[in-house]
Amino acid sequence: MSTQQITIDLPEPVMRQLMRIAAATHQSIEALVAQSVLSNLPPSVDNAPPELQTELLTMQGLSVEELYAIAQAQSEPAQRDRHIELLQKNEAELLTPEERQELSALRQSADHLMLRKAYAWSLLRWRGEKISALADLPVPA
């Protein structure tokens, strides 16, 4: 990985803390700063499907309210019901070729919804929003 050099001014207490951690962990201050910056960036979209990367990056500019709306989004009940119906037919090996394509499209749509939701939650957490425990989240009807 290539590196770029930047110069930043850090407050004295931050610099002392970095020096203590560097000495205790046998790391360079540069490595600690790079690790801190990397761990405090918004989540990367590099591993997301290419067709979603631009949308996910755009989400970084959304308001907290907009991110919560995405994070709490649900698929349409009719779409969810059809997906379940096709999954059951698939399990019984009764799908037509057209239904197989429909099931694939519904699965991809559900996967993309879940990825957008997860990314919205991670952006909210990155912004310092308190995230409820999984057990405390509402269960879709």
Q: Break the chain into its structural domains and give their ranges.
A: 9-41, 50-132
The verdict on pTM exceeding 0.85 is no
* Interval 111-120: pLDDT, tens: 999 999 999 9
Q: Is the pLDDT of residue 138 over 80?
A: no
Percent of the chain residues topping a pLDDT of 90: 81
List Cα–Cα distances, 24 to 14, 80, 122, in angstroms.
15, 53, 31
* Interval 8-44: pLDDT, tens: 999 999 999 999 999 999 999 999 999 988 888 888 8
- Can you tell me the distance from the alpha carbon of 56 to that of 92, in angstroms, rounded to the nearest whole number? 36
Give the residue from 123, 110, 12, 108 showing the smallest Cα distance to 59. Answer: 123
Q: Is the pLDDT of residue 140 over 70?
A: no
